[in-house]
């Protein structure tokens, strides 16, 4: 279980990225889908709107384990979050997270009987954060090619 400070650190990385590739098991195959998180803070659960009629709901009923990955190549930030999914149609949560983008997917509104939230209850996280600008990266690559040693261009941390 991650601490509040760890959750905040992870949130600082993923909040501006917004869209994760969520990978699940689909009858023995791995399948990834882009999904946009909905909340304004992170306490260990990521929330995504989904339709109860979607294939992913049936797939995740068989195996609820997922991995959500976020990438910002411009800053060199990469985050992997693993956990288990639970679905809810709790109207208070739907009201809390409802927004214009969700409304675009559900033209009948938040009272549409297919509206649900998918919560990923994060059990493990890993962050790769590039600490170098372009010149430092070029230097590290050149040094690695000359010395045969691996370049040191990022910080890697694991949580959970």
Task: For 75-111, write each residue's pLDDT tens digit.
Answer: 889 999 999 999 999 999 999 999 999 999 999 999 9
Q: How far apart are CA 19 and CA 15, in angstroms?
A: 9
pTM, two decimals, is 0.83
Q: Phi first, then psi: what are they for 152, rounded to 5°?
A: -105, 95
pLDDT at position 137: 54
Q: Which residues partner with 36 through β-bridges?
A: 19
Half-sphere exposure of 124 (CA within 13 A, CB side): 5
What is the third-level CATH fold of 4-159? Answer: Pnp Oxidase; Chain A (2.30.110)
Confidence check: pLDDT of 132 > 80: no
Ordered by start, the domain boundaries in the chain are 4-159
pLDDT at position 155: 65
């Amino acid at each position: 279980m991650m601490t509040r400070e760890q959750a905040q650190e992870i949130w600082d990385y993923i909040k501006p990225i917004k869209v994760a590739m969520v990978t699940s098991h689909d009858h023995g195959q791995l399948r990834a889908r882009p999904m946009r998180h909905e909340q304004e803070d992170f306490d260990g659960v990521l929330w995504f709107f989904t339709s109860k009629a979607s294939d992913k709901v049936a797939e995740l009923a068989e195996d609820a384990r997922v991995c959500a990955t976020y990438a910002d190549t411009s800053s060199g930030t990469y985050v992997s979050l693993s956990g288990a999914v639970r679905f809810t149609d709790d109207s208070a949560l739907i009201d809390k997270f409802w927004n214009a983008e969700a409304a675009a997917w559900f033209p009948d509104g938040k009272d549409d009987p297919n509206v649900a939230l998918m919560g990923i209850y994060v059990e493990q996280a890993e962050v790769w954060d590039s600490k170098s600008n372009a010149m430092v990266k070029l230097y590290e690559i050149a040094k690695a090619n000359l010395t045969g040693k691996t370049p040191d261009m990022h910080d890697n941390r694991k949580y959970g």
